[in-house]
Amino acid sequence: MSPRTSPPGDREAAQVAGAPLRADAARNVAQIRAAAIAAFRGRGLDTPLEEIAAAAGVSKATIYNRFGGRAGLIDAVIGKLVAAEMYAIMDKALQVADPWQAIATYVTDRRDLQYREPAFTDALLMTYPDSGQLAAIATAAIDMTISLVQRGHDAGVIRRDFTAEDLYYADVANGLALRKLPRPARQDYDRRIRFFLDSLRPR
Amino acid sequence: MSPRTSPPGDREAAQVAGAPLRADAARNVAQIRAAAIAAFRGRGLDTPLEEIAAAAGVSKATIYNRFGGRAGLIDAVIGKLVAAEMYAIMDKALQVADPWQAIATYVTDRRDLQYREPAFTDALLMTYPDSGQLAAIATAAIDMTISLVQRGHDAGVIRRDFTAEDLYYADVANGLALRKLPRPARQDYDRRIRFFLDSLRPR
DNA sequence: GGTTAACTTGACCCGATGGTTAAGTTAACC
DNA sequence: GGTTAACTTAACCATCGGGTCAAGTTAACC
Domain boundaries, chain B: 15-74, 78-199
Q: What is residue B126's predicted lDDT score, i.e. its pLDDT? A: 82
What is the nearest CA distance from A58 to chain B, expressed in angstroms? 34
Q: Render pLDDT for A96-126 as a digit per residue (tens, 0 to 9).
A: 999 999 999 999 999 999 999 888 888 888 8
Across chain B, mean pLDDT equals 89
- The answer to whether the predicted template modeling score (pTM) of the entire model surpasses 0.90 is no
Q: Render pLDDT for B50-109 as a digit per residue (tens, 0 to 9).
A: 999 999 999 999 999 999 999 999 999 998 888 889 999 999 999 999 999 999 999 999
Nucleotide nearest to B68 (CA to C1'): D19
Cβ-defined contacts of A38-46 (< 8 Å, 24+): A40/A74, A40/A77, A40/A81, A40/A119, A41/A81, A41/A117, A41/A118, A41/A119, A44/A118, A44/A119, A44/A122, A44/A179, A45/A70, A45/A74, A45/A119, A45/A122, A45/A127, A45/A128, A46/A122, A46/A127
DSSP assigned state of A57: T
Query: What's the pLDDT band for A157 if we cut at 50, 70, 90?
Result: very high
Q: What is residue A159's predicted lDDT score, i.e. its pLDDT? A: 96
Averaged pLDDT for residues B8-15: 38
Question: In B, which residues are within 8 Å of A198 by CB distance?
Answer: 199, 203
Query: What's the pLDDT band for B17 if we cut at 50, 70, 90?
Result: low
**Å from the A25 CA to the C20 C1':** 20
* B15-74 shares its CATH topology with B78-199: no
Query: Among positive and negative, which fits the CA dihedral B28, B31, B34, B40?
Result: negative
Asked whether the ipTM of the predicted complex exceeds the cut of 0.85, the reply is no
Q: What is residue B3's predicted lDDT score, i.e. its pLDDT? A: 52
Write down the CATH superfamily of domain A15-74.
Answer: Homeodomain-like (1.10.10.60)
DSSP assigned state of A79: I
Asked if residue A203 has pLDDT above 90, the reply is: no
What is the nearest CA distance from A100 to chain B, expressed in angstroms? 17
Q: What is the largest CA-CA distance in chain B?
A: 64
**Å from the B170 CA to the D13 C1':** 44
Query: What's the pLDDT band for A18 if we cut at 50, 70, 90?
Result: low
Strands (E), chain A: none
**Which residue in chain A is spatially nearest to B175 when comparing CA positions?**
A173
Cβ-count burial of B86 within 10 angstroms (0-12 exposed, 13-18 middle, 19+ buried)?
buried
What is the nearest CA distance from B126 to chain A, expressed in angstroms? 11
Subunit contact B192:A203, Cβ cutoff 8 A: no
Looking at B26-40, B89-103, B115-129, which range is the least confident one? B115-129
Q: Which residue is nearest to nucleotide D6 (CA to C1')?
A: A22
Q: What is residue A1's predicted lDDT score, i.e. its pLDDT? A: 44
B150 and B167 Cβ atoms separated by less than 8 Å = no
What is the nearest CA distance from B197 to chain A, expressed in angstroms? 9
Subunit contact B172:A181, Cβ cutoff 8 A: yes
Query: What's the pLDDT band for A16 if we cut at 50, 70, 90?
Result: low
Taking only residues 127 to 166 of chain B, the set having a beta carbon closer than 8 angstroms to any beta carbon of chain A reads: 159, 161-163, 165-166
Q: What is residue B11's predicted lDDT score, i.e. its pLDDT? A: 34
Q: How far apart are CA B52 and CA B77, in angstroms?
A: 13
Query: What's the pLDDT band for A130 if we cut at 50, 70, 90?
Result: confident
Nucleotide nearest to A59 (CA to C1'): D9
Angle at CA B174, nearest 5°, toward B168 and B175? 90
Q: What is residue B14's predicted lDDT score, i.e. its pLDDT? A: 42
Q: Which residue is nearest to nucleotide C5 (CA to C1')?
A: B22
Looking at A41-45, A162-166, B171-175, which range is the least confident one? A41-45
Looking at A74-78, A103-107, A126-130, B146-150, which range is the least confident one? A126-130
Asked if residue A34 has pLDDT above 90, the reply is: yes
Subunit contact A169:B177, Cβ cutoff 8 A: yes
Chain B contact for A199, CB < 8 A?
yes
Q: What is residue B147's predicted lDDT score, i.e. its pLDDT? A: 95
Q: What is the largest CA-CA distance in chain A?
A: 64
Helix ranges (H only) for A22-59 are 23-43, 49-56
Q: What is residue B148's predicted lDDT score, i.e. its pLDDT? A: 95
Averaged pLDDT for residues A3-20: 48
Q: What is residue A17's predicted lDDT score, i.e. its pLDDT? A: 57
Q: What is residue A135's predicted lDDT score, i.e. its pLDDT? A: 83
Averaged pLDDT for residues A74-82: 89
Looking at A14-18, B38-42, B113-117, which range is the least confident one? A14-18
Asked if residue A20 has pLDDT above 90, the reply is: no
Averaged pLDDT for residues A148-160: 96
Find out if CATH 3.90.550 is the number for domain A78-199: no
Q: What is residue A42's predicted lDDT score, i.e. its pLDDT? A: 85
